[in-house]
Chains A and B, each alone.
Chain A
Amino acid sequence: MSLESSTVGTSLDAIRAELSRGKLATSTFNFIVWIDDPARRDWIRERAGMLSEKHPSFTLIFDNTGVREGDATVTTGARDPHATVTVRGERVEIDVSGLDAATIARYVTGLCAAGVETILWWSGFKEASRATFYALLPLIGTLIVDSSGGLADDSALRALADFHAEHMEVTLRDLAWMRLTPWRDMIANFFDDERLLGELFTIRALHIASGSDSEALYLGGWLASRLDWTATGRDAFTDRAGKTIAFNRRREGEIRRVQSICLDSETSWYHGEVTEDPGVVSVWVEGEHAREPRLFPLMAIDNASLLERAVLESGAVELFETALTTAATLLG
C-alpha cells in the first residue's frame, strides 16, 4: 500500500483537514523530529521516514533549515473510502523557519495523537533552537539525541550530561551510547569465563581510541559504573581498593566509531581492534591469560535501526544513565 502525500499551507487547520482525509489512523507513538542543520537535513528526513513507514505512528518533522518554502507536506495512507486500508505511519513535515517556539509547540498539541507516547528526536545544534527545545520539552516523554552525531569533541556529551542532571524526569536515549552495544558485548566476552572474572578487579589501565569523544567517555563511564570505579580526574579512576586505573583516550579514526580498546590487568592485556574491514574487530589477549586472536563481527546496525530501538525501548535505562553520569564526572 503506497502512501499519499500532498502539500498544504502551514496552518494547523489546513494540516488537520488534510490528515482527516486519510481513511484510518492508528498511532503507536508520536514521533517529533527537529532539524536545523541543512547539511544533515536529508539524512535525518530519510531515517525518520523509514521509521514512520515501518511503524504505525504519527511523525511530525519540524524543518528549520530554511530549505522548504513555507508549506507543509502531509503523508497518510489511503484516502479512497472504498480502499482496503493498511495502516502505516502518518507524517507531516512543516517549514517552521521564522516561527516562534510557542507556535511550534502548538503544532505538537494540535496534531499529535492522544494517549500514546511522544518522542522527540532532537538533532538541533543551533543556539537559536534552544527556546524551541525547551518549549517542546514539557510535551514529550522521551528525548533522543546523538552526542557524537556531528561533533568529534565532548561538548555535546557535556551538554547532555548537564541536561540529564537538571531533567531527570525526561527519558533519555543517546544514539552514540546505543552504537556501543557490540563493543560492550566484546569486552564482556573477555570475562565470561568465570576463571577470568577476578581479572576485572585488577585492571590498571584502560586505553580507548575513537573518532569522537563520546564513545571513549561512554565506554569508560560504563566500565567504571559496572566495576565500582570512581573518576578522579579526566584521565584516571580509582577502584574499590583505592588503586589507580589510568584512562588513556585518543582521537583516531572516523567520527562515531571506536577504533581500539585495551584493558591492562595485573597479568594480561585484553585487546580489541578494528581490522582492515571496518565491520570486523580482532580480539586477543596477551600475558598470563593469552588467547589467540578471534574475529568479532561488528554488527552493522544502521542509524535507522538504532533510532527504532531508541523508540521501542521503554522507560529509563539505568545502565545508560549511570554510564552518562560517570562520564560526566570524567569531564569535571
Chain B
Amino acid sequence: MTATAGGVAANPLRKGLAANRIADPCNVIFFGATGDLMKRMLLPAMWNLRLEDMLPSNYGIVGFSRSDDDDEKFRDEMRKAVDEFSRSGPAKEPLWSDFAKHLSYVSGTFDDTNCFHKLRAQLEKNDKELGTGGNRLFYLSTPPSLFAPIVDQLDKGGLGPRDNQTGWTRIIVEKPFGTDLDSARALQAEVSKVFDEKQIYRIDHYLGKEPVQDIMALRFANVIFEPLWNRRYVDSVQITAAETVGVEQRGGYYDNAGALRDMIQNHVMNLLALVAMEPPVAADADSIRDEKFKVLRAIRPIDRARVTLESARGQYDAGSIAGKPVPGYREEPNVRPDSNTETFAAVKLLIDNWRWAGVPFYLRSGKRLAHKTSEIAITFRSIPHRLFGDAGDALDNNVLVMKIQPEEGISLRFNAKVPGPKMHIRAVSMDFNYGTGFGVVSAPAYERLIGDAMRGDATLFTRWDAVETAWQIVMPILDKWQNTIDESFSNYSAGGQGPPSSDRLLAMDGREWRKI
C-alpha cells in the first residue's frame, strides 16, 4: 500500500478523488521537538493531518532535542500536547496508538556530529521498518541562532541532500530568517552550502491562512476589481496587522526583535506583495513568487534621512484590554526596564512601477491595540465631479476591505441615495462574510504548510530573493531605530490605536488610518 506517483496517476479508481492527499512516504524530523511551538502547533498539526488522512501510508515523525527523553516519554508528551492543543480535541484510540508507533525521539545536542549520526541511524531504521523511502523533511523549530549549526551538522552527519541517494531531502526554516540583512545573508550562505533553493521552505505561517490565499482569488477570479487595481483609481492602501495580546512569554525574544522584524518584514510585506503584484502567468509556486519578488523589488528604498518622516514607532504603556488592566511593555517578563524596542511599527512605502506609481502603501502592526484585526483596505480616489447630494452630504471614497482575521470576508463601502424626496447621499457598507459555523473547517496554517512541504509545493513559502529584498526595504528604518533612543516611549496606551506619530505619518499626506 505504498503510494507511488505512477501508481496514483494510473489508478482508475483515483478519478474524482483528491489527489492532494498523496504525499510521498517520508520522515518528518522536528528539531526543537520538546519546545512550545512543537507542542502547541506542530505535533497537533501532524496529528490532524493524520486524522484528515493527509499523511502518506508510510511516514515517520522524529523528534530531536536536547532533553534526555526516550521514545516512550516523547510519545507521552506528544499525547498530552494533542490532548491540550489539537483543534480536533483529545486524541482517541485506536488511532492514537497507531499514530504513536510512527513517533520516535533522538536526544542530542545541536553541535555534536555523533548525535546526528544517531539521527541518521533512526531515519534509516524508519526507512526499513516504516517504509519511508529515504525521503526526509527537516523542520527547524529552534531558536534562530541554531539554524546554521543544525544545517552544518546535517551535512557533517551525512543527512544533507547530497548524501541521500534514495529519496528527497527538504528543510523547513521557521521565521525569522535572520535578524537583519547581514545575518539573513549569512544564514542563507550557510543553508545554501547544503540545500538548493528548491529544497528550502521558509515558513511564514501567515501565508497558510485561508484569507491570505483568498486575496489572489479576489483579484484574479473576478473581472470587476482588476481594472480598478492601479494608480488611476486607487488613492492609497492600508495594511494592518493589529493584536490585542502583549508579548506574553516571548519577552526575551521579542525585546531583541520588535514589531518591524517580527511582523512588518515578513507577514505584512507578504500581504503587500500579494495585493500589489502583477497577475502571475500560472498558479505554480515560481510564477507566483516571481511576481511577488518583482513588486518587492519595485518598492522605493527609504532614504535614511527620511526615516522619521516615513515611519513611526511606538511602545505600549499600561492600559486596559476588554476592560481588564494590562501592564506596560517595560513591565512584561524578560523585557528590559529601559527597553527601546518598538511594539508598534508603521511604514509608508511607495512602489515605483507602472501600476502603482504615486500610490502610498501604509503598513502598520502592533501589540496591545484596541482590537485584534488584520485587514487590507484599498481606498479608491474621490469622484472627479460632484453631481449629487446636498452640500452637507459627505461623499466618502469607495473602500474595499479584505478582512483576514478574526473575521474573514470582504467589505465594500459605496455611496447611495437615502430614501426620500431629497437627494441625500450617504455611505453604506456592504459586508460579505462567509460564516464558519459548520462544515469543513479550514486547516490551520501549520497543517496546510507542512502538508504542502511534504508534497513539495513551495507556493506558500517565501523564496530567498523575497526575504532578502524585504530586509533591504526595512534596513534603513531598523538601523535608525536601533541607533536612536525614542524618548517618547512608552507612547501609546494598551488598548488604544497606536502612537500619535503613527497618526502624523498619514496626516502629513492628508489621510488618516482606519480605526482599529
The answer to whether A187 and B439 touch across the interface, beta carbons within 8 angstroms, is no
Interface assignment of B92: CB less than 8 Å from any CB of chain A: yes
Partner-binding segment picked from A4-12, A37-45, A52-60, A154-162: A52-60
Cβ distance A4 to chain B, nearest Cβ, rounded Å: 16
Q: Report A-chain residues with C-beta under 8 Å of the C-beta of B2.
A: 192-193
* Bound-complex Cα distance A225 to B435 (A): 38
How would residues 1 to 21 of chain B score, 1 for a CB under 8 Å from any chain A CB and 0 otherwise?
111101110111111111001
* Bound-complex Cα distance A308 to B438 (A): 10
The answer to whether B7 and A299 touch across the interface, beta carbons within 8 angstroms, is no
How would residues 246 to 290 of chain A score, 1 for a CB under 8 Å from any chain B CB and 0 otherwise?
000000000000000000000000000001110110010100000
The answer to whether A297 and B51 touch across the interface, beta carbons within 8 angstroms, is yes
Interface assignment of A302: CB less than 8 Å from any CB of chain B: yes
Cβ distance B61 to chain A, nearest Cβ, rounded Å: 16
The answer to whether A308 and B439 touch across the interface, beta carbons within 8 angstroms, is yes
How would residues 156 to 177 of chain A score, 1 for a CB under 8 Å from any chain B CB and 0 otherwise?
0000000000000000000000
* Bound-complex Cα distance A295 to B437 (A): 29
Interface assignment of A195: CB less than 8 Å from any CB of chain B: yes
The answer to whether B6 and A54 touch across the interface, beta carbons within 8 angstroms, is no
Residue from B3, B419, B432, B438 in contact with A189 in the complex, judged by beta carbons closer than 8 Å: B3
* Bound-complex Cα distance A84 to B426 (A): 12
The answer to whether B7 and A194 touch across the interface, beta carbons within 8 angstroms, is yes
Residue from A1, A194, A227 in contact with B6 in the complex, judged by beta carbons closer than 8 Å: A194
Return 15 A-B CB contacts under 8 Å, by A number. A54-B438, A54-B439, A86-B433, A88-B433, A192-B4, A194-B7, A195-B4, A200-B12, A200-B13, A277-B94, A285-B1, A302-B438, A308-B440, A319-B15, A319-B16
* Bound-complex Cα distance A301 to B429 (A): 35
Interface assignment of A143: CB less than 8 Å from any CB of chain B: no
> Which residue numbers of A lie inside 8 Å of B, CB to CB?
1, 24, 26, 50, 53-56, 81, 84-88, 181-182, 184-185, 187-197, 200, 223, 226-227, 275-277, 279-280, 283, 285, 291, 294-297, 299, 301-302, 304-305, 308, 317, 319
Cβ distance B331 to chain A, nearest Cβ, rounded Å: 37
Cβ distance B159 to chain A, nearest Cβ, rounded Å: 27
Q: Report B-chain residues with C-beta under 8 Å of the C-beta of A296.
A: 53
The 6 closest A-B pairs by CB, nearest first: A194-B7, A188-B13, A54-B435, A192-B3, A319-B16, A305-B439
Q: Report A-chain residues with C-beta under 8 Å of the C-beta of B57.
A: 189, 294
The answer to whether B429 and A195 touch across the interface, beta carbons within 8 angstroms, is no
The answer to whether B98 and A294 touch across the interface, beta carbons within 8 angstroms, is yes
Q: CB within 8 Å of A: which of B1-60? A: 1-4, 6-8, 10-18, 21-22, 50-53, 57
* Bound-complex Cα distance A190 to B14 (A): 11
State the total of A-B contacts with C-beta under 8 angstroms. Answer: 129
The answer to whether A297 and B95 touch across the interface, beta carbons within 8 angstroms, is yes
Cβ distance B175 to chain A, nearest Cβ, rounded Å: 31
The answer to whether B432 and A193 touch across the interface, beta carbons within 8 angstroms, is no
The answer to whether A55 and B434 touch across the interface, beta carbons within 8 angstroms, is yes
The answer to whether B93 and A277 touch across the interface, beta carbons within 8 angstroms, is yes
User: Which residue of A is nearest B429, CB measured?
Assistant: A84
* Bound-complex Cα distance A120 to B505 (A): 55
Q: Report A-chain residues with C-beta under 8 Å of the C-beta of B439.
A: 50, 54, 302, 304-305, 308
User: Which residue of A is nearest B12, CB measured?
Assistant: A226
The answer to whether A280 and B431 touch across the interface, beta carbons within 8 angstroms, is no
* Bound-complex Cα distance A53 to B50 (A): 30
Cβ distance A325 to chain B, nearest Cβ, rounded Å: 15
The answer to whether B432 and A26 touch across the interface, beta carbons within 8 angstroms, is yes
* Bound-complex Cα distance A181 to B15 (A): 11
The answer to whether A197 and B11 touch across the interface, beta carbons within 8 angstroms, is yes
* Bound-complex Cα distance A1 to B10 (A): 49
How would residues 409 to 442 of chain B score, 1 for a CB under 8 Å from any chain A CB and 0 otherwise?
0000000000100000000111111111111100
The answer to whether A188 and B438 touch across the interface, beta carbons within 8 angstroms, is no
Cβ distance A149 to chain B, nearest Cβ, rounded Å: 19
The answer to whether A305 and B440 touch across the interface, beta carbons within 8 angstroms, is yes
* Given A87-B431, A194-B10, A280-B94, A184 contacting B3 (CB threshold 8 A): no
User: Which residue of B is nearest A186, CB measured?
Assistant: B53
Cβ distance B17 to chain A, nearest Cβ, rounded Å: 5
Q: Report B-chain residues with C-beta under 8 Å of the C-beta of A223.
A: 13
* Bound-complex Cα distance A187 to B15 (A): 12
* Bound-complex Cα distance A302 to B438 (A): 9
* Bound-complex Cα distance A279 to B437 (A): 22
Q: Report B-chain residues with C-beta under 8 Å of the C-beta of A181.
A: 17
Q: Report B-chain residues with C-beta under 8 Å of the C-beta of A184.
A: 13, 17
User: Which residue of B is nearest A285, CB measured?
Assistant: B1
Residue from B18, B22, B430, B436 in contact with A192 in the complex, judged by beta carbons closer than 8 Å: B22
Q: Report B-chain residues with C-beta under 8 Å of the C-beta of A276.
A: 94
The answer to whether A304 and B14 touch across the interface, beta carbons within 8 angstroms, is no
* Bound-complex Cα distance A276 to B2 (A): 26
The answer to whether B430 and A50 touch across the interface, beta carbons within 8 angstroms, is no
User: Which residue of A is nearest B426, CB measured?
Assistant: A82
* Bound-complex Cα distance A304 to B440 (A): 10
Cβ distance B394 to chain A, nearest Cβ, rounded Å: 15
Cβ distance B47 to chain A, nearest Cβ, rounded Å: 11
* Given A181-B17, A285-B1, A196 contacting B95 (CB threshold 8 A): no
Q: Report A-chain residues with C-beta under 8 Å of the C-beta of B436.
A: 54
* Bound-complex Cα distance A283 to B93 (A): 16
The answer to whether B92 and A192 touch across the interface, beta carbons within 8 angstroms, is no
* Bound-complex Cα distance A184 to B51 (A): 17
Q: Report B-chain residues with C-beta under 8 Å of the C-beta of A277.
A: 92-95
Q: Report A-chain residues with C-beta under 8 Å of the C-beta of B93.
A: 277
Residue from B7, B22, B52, B95 in contact with A195 in the complex, judged by beta carbons closer than 8 Å: B7
Cβ distance B92 to chain A, nearest Cβ, rounded Å: 7
Counting chain A CB atoms within 10 Å of each CB, the highest count among B1, B50, B98 belongs to B1
